[in-house]
Structure 1
Amino acid sequence: MSRKFLETESPAWVADGLISAAQQQKLLARYPPEAQALGLLPILGSLLVGLSGLSVVAANWQGLPAALRLALLLGSLLGSYGAGAYFLRRGNPDLGHGLIGLGLILFGASIILTSQLYQLVGYDASGLLAWVVAGVALSYVYGSRLLVLLTVLIGAAVQTYCVESLGIFSYVTAWLVAAGLGYYWWRRPDVVTSTVLAVGLLWQAGLLIIVLHSKITWFFVPAMAIYAAGDWQSNRAGGRALQVPPLVAAYLFMFGLAIFGETDAYANILRPPLLPYLGALGAVLAVSVAGKRARGRLNSLPEWLLLLPGFYLPGGLPLAVATLVVLYAHAGSVLARANRDQDPEQLTVGAVLFVAATAVAYFKLTWGFMDKSLFFLVGGVLLLGLSWYLRRRNAQVLAAAGPVAEASATGPAGNLTDAPGPVAPVASSPSPENPPRND
């Protein structure tokens, strides 16, 4: 909820008696104007100042004496950490964490520049591992989402360097990101941290598949292990945010298979040995189902439909039909869950997925044997009809949610319980002095 939304909508809430004027002021006080922008400016400012200083030093780096180079590196590093700690003590966490993050960046730059200064040729990532360790440690010490983001990016950069330049996969780096930041996420499962960590772990998994020269479908075993971890998280928002990136990857893979999986040319790329692959994926599925049952989230089990190994089917029509059935079943499960939970956002997501599946089915199954004018006419009619149905269904969901929200906001006698509003006059009972009128 934003300050602008409250300023726009809250006067109508007061006029309708939903909240009192005092409650309106309390809500506005909870969201101070431009709080997010003010919190972002110090971080961006500190990064720009640091990058400016680095660019000046880098332009004259070769002409500086070795002792001065070391002094500049050490001074900038200690200065950033010291300034960050100072502003944290002064009650300015945004600027303090920004400077600590700048110090973390300078720490990695110092490792690289020192190795160049003394011409230290390394054939492993032992020096860069210290950079990842420092990021994980600072994330725990300061509890900053910015430091978590930087550490995930640093881990991805170190792993990419290992794969591209050294031709190896650093399991220690992957373990530091997965276990170190994974435990941090388990204790502090906010949405931003969950999403960033999931994307970083997917990147690590993709690089592992490249190094091992495995079938790319093995990628979904660690990807769905990340998804299964979200099932065990008690914080629903944090767990769901961790699951979204693996689900997006699985959906895009199935969507691409529906479009391009026409021949058996993909067999050497997608088809791992059947029993080992199904065994590994089945083990992850069992962990996911156990987590869903423990947290009461079995209604999200149809999301695993996207992992059905349809790529074992022969290309052409059988594969196209199978993938389209999966896409429709997944979209239908999202719509059914949104309707049951009366969730307008999930209803929109399900509608988009349904339209996407319909578009794929339309172009894949009708383009070859239908006249183009009739093709577009039928397609337009289908989309208009679907749009009308979804709008009507969305209106029904919102209308059903309205009485529920109104009933929860009222007490047993039908009056608002949050704040005393104007009380309706109570009709007096008939009496000899005030007989009932039959107008």
Structure 2
Amino acid sequence: MSRKFLETESPGWVTDGLISEAQRQQLLARYPAEVPAVGLLPLLGSVLVGLSALSVVAANWQGLPAVLRLALLLGSLLGAYGAGTYFLRRGNADLGHGLIGLGLLVFGAAIILVSQLYQLVGYDVSGLLAWVVAGVALSYVYGSRLLVLLTVVIGAGVQTYCVQALGSFSYATAVLVAAGLGYYWWRRPEVVSSTVLSTGLLWQAGLLVLALHAKITWFFVPAMAIYAAGDWQARGNGARALQGPPLVAAYLFMFGLATFGETDAYADVLRPPLLPYLGALGAVFALSVAGKRALGRLNTLLDWLLLLPGFYLPGGLPLAVATLVVLYAHAGSVLARAHRNQDSDQLTVGAVLFVAATAVAYFKLTWAFLDKSLFFLLGGVLLLSLSWYLRRRNAQTLAAAPPAPPVATPDDAAPEPPASTHNS
């Protein structure tokens, strides 16, 4: 909720008797006026001037003396950090954190350019690892979501370079991102930072599977370990934000199996040894269940339906039916939970998942024996009918929700004393 929204709407709440003027002032005090940011034109002008200077230096970089190159790099680094600190002290957090982030990027560029300047060993990742360390440290010092985002992206870039160019996986980089930023997330589980960190860790997990030349389904063991970490986070918004990317990955995988898994062509890619895979996934499942039970979230246990290993079934009709049943069951669990919690957003998500499962089932099971014109006609009618029904159920559920109780005002706290009947 923004202060501008409160300033616009709260007088009407006072007029309608929802809150008192004193409560309105208390609400406004909780959302202080934002410090005016630096104007957009001066900021863009500064960026353009900086890009101009950067292009001049880049064009003449090879012809500059080594000492001057180092001086330019060091001056740029100190200038970015100094300017960021200055604006932070002036109360302009957005610009200050942006300049600190620019300093972090300059630091990484300096590592690469100094390595080229002195022809350091090209297969040593220690310099890039120092870049990740700096990003994690700055994230803690300044507590900025922008720095967390940059550090996750830097970690992903360093790991990608290690796997593709060096042919190895940097476990140190993965541990720095997972442990360093993981502890940061645990203390500050913001929605944006949680989503960014979860996505970055999924990227690290995918690169690990690629580097080990393992079956791609091993990816879901670390992915669901990220999901299980969210089950132990007491703050619900941050927990669900961390769990979102793993669930999206699991759903897309199951959706792909339902759509394209009609043959055994993917068996060599998808089927790891049964007992080790089920043992590892089962251990993560037990950790997730323990967290859900401890924090009273067992109603989300059906999220694990998407991890049922249906790819061990033979291709064709058995696999198609099994994956469709899972998709329908998962969509139904989302809708049921949304109805219980009166959550309109989750109702919309559940409706979309249900319609998507119905579309896949329709295309997979009727394409072979229906005339194409009749196929599309019936499909359109079916999806429109489903959309109407789910929208109607959504409206009925929200209409049946009990109204919020009125807020007691100071004037309502105590009844007025009765009028005196004393005769003068």
Q: Tell me if structure 1 keeps the 8 A contact 2:355–2:387.
A: no
In 1, Cα distance between equivalents of 2:254 and 2:47: 40
Identify unmatched segments of 5+ residues in structure 2. 420-424
> Which of 409, 417, 432 does residue 408 from structure 2 map onto?
417
Q: Aligned to 1:64, what secondary structure does the other structure show?
A: coil
One-letter identity of the residue aligned with 2:317: L
TM-score, with normalisation over the residues of structure 2? 0.91
Q: Do the aligned partners of residues 203 and 22 (structure 1) sit closer, same or farther apart at CA in structure 2, a change above 3 Å counting?
A: same
- Aligned residue for 2:271? 271
In 2, Cα distance between equivalents of 1:167 and 1:117: 24
Q: Give the CA deviation at 1:264.
A: 0.2
- Aligned residue for 2:422? none
Q: Aligned to 2:314, what secondary structure does the other structure show?
A: coil
In 1, Cα distance between equivalents of 2:411 and 2:395: 31
Q: Do the aligned partners of residues 369 and 51 (structure 1) sit closer, same or farther apart at CA in structure 2, a change above 3 Å counting?
A: same
- Aligned residue for 2:346? 346
Matches of residues 148-163 of structure 1 in structure 2 within 5 Å? Answer: 148-163=148-163
Q: Do the aligned partners of residues 314 and 379 (structure 1) sit closer, same or farther apart at CA in structure 2, a change above 3 Å counting?
A: same
Matches of residues 80-159 of structure 1 in structure 2 within 5 Å? Answer: 80-159=80-159
Indicate whether 1:356 and 2:356 are aligned.
Answer: yes
Q: Do the aligned partners of residues 348 and 8 (structure 1) sit closer, same or farther apart at CA in structure 2, a change above 3 Å counting?
A: farther
- Aligned residue for 1:255? 255
CA RMSD in angstroms comes to 2.8
Cα displacement string for residues 346-404 of structure 1 (whole angstroms, at most 9, x for unaligned residues) = 0010000000000000111111112233323322332232222212211222112242x
- Aligned residue for 2:188? 188
Q: Give the CA deviation at 1:165.
A: 0.7
- Aligned residue for 1:197? 197
Q: Give the CA deviation at 1:96.
A: 1.8
In 2, Cα distance between equivalents of 1:327 and 1:90: 53
- Aligned residue for 2:281? 281
Q: Do the aligned partners of residues 417 and 200 (structure 1) sit closer, same or farther apart at CA in structure 2, a change above 3 Å counting?
A: same
One-letter identity of the residue aligned with 1:321: V
Q: Give the CA deviation at 1:30.
A: 5.9
Q: Tell me if structure 1 keeps the 8 A contact 2:149–2:196.
A: yes
Q: Give the CA deviation at 1:175.
A: 0.5
In 2, Cα distance between equivalents of 1:49 and 1:132: 28
Cα displacement string for residues 43-80 of structure 1 (whole angstroms, at most 9, x for unaligned residues) = 98876665544333212111111110011011111111
One-letter identity of the residue aligned with 2:238: G
Q: Do the aligned partners of residues 9 and 173 (structure 1) sit closer, same or farther apart at CA in structure 2, a change above 3 Å counting?
A: same
Q: Give the CA deviation at 1:39.
A: 8.2
The count of corresponding residues between Structure 1 and Structure 2 is: 418
One-letter identity of the residue aligned with 1:288: S
One-letter identity of the residue aligned with 1:340: R
One-letter identity of the residue aligned with 1:263: T
Cα displacement string for residues 171-220 of structure 1 (whole angstroms, at most 9, x for unaligned residues) = 00000000011011111111111011000000000111111000100000
Q: Tell me if structure 1 keeps the 8 A contact 2:359–2:383.
A: no
Q: Aligned to 1:264, what secondary structure does the other structure show?
A: coil
Identify unmatched segments of 5+ residues in structure 1. 410-415, 429-439
In 1, Cα distance between equivalents of 2:390 and 2:326: 20
Q: Aligned to 2:266, what secondary structure does the other structure show?
A: helix
Q: Do the aligned partners of residues 148 and 315 (structure 1) sit closer, same or farther apart at CA in structure 2, a change above 3 Å counting?
A: same
Q: Do the aligned partners of residues 205 and 334 (structure 1) sit closer, same or farther apart at CA in structure 2, a change above 3 Å counting?
A: same
One-letter identity of the residue aligned with 1:148: V
In 2, Cα distance between equivalents of 1:285 and 1:52: 54
In 1, Cα distance between equivalents of 2:39 and 2:295: 36
Q: Could you tell which deviates more after superposition, 344-353 or 116-125?
A: 116-125
- Aligned residue for 1:58? 58
Q: Tell me if structure 1 keeps the 8 A contact 2:35–2:91.
A: no
TM-score, with normalisation over the residues of structure 1? 0.88
Q: Do the aligned partners of residues 8 and 85 (structure 1) sit closer, same or farther apart at CA in structure 2, a change above 3 Å counting?
A: closer
Q: Do the aligned partners of residues 322 and 82 (structure 1) sit closer, same or farther apart at CA in structure 2, a change above 3 Å counting?
A: same
- Aligned residue for 1:177? 177
Q: Do the aligned partners of residues 248 and 400 (structure 1) sit closer, same or farther apart at CA in structure 2, a change above 3 Å counting?
A: same
Q: Tell me if structure 1 keeps the 8 A contact 2:37–2:92.
A: no
One-letter identity of the residue aligned with 2:177: V
Q: Do the aligned partners of residues 110 and 232 (structure 1) sit closer, same or farther apart at CA in structure 2, a change above 3 Å counting?
A: same
In 2, Cα distance between equivalents of 1:362 and 1:72: 63
- Aligned residue for 1:436? none
One-letter identity of the residue aligned with 1:285: F
Q: Give the CA deviation at 1:38.
A: 4.1
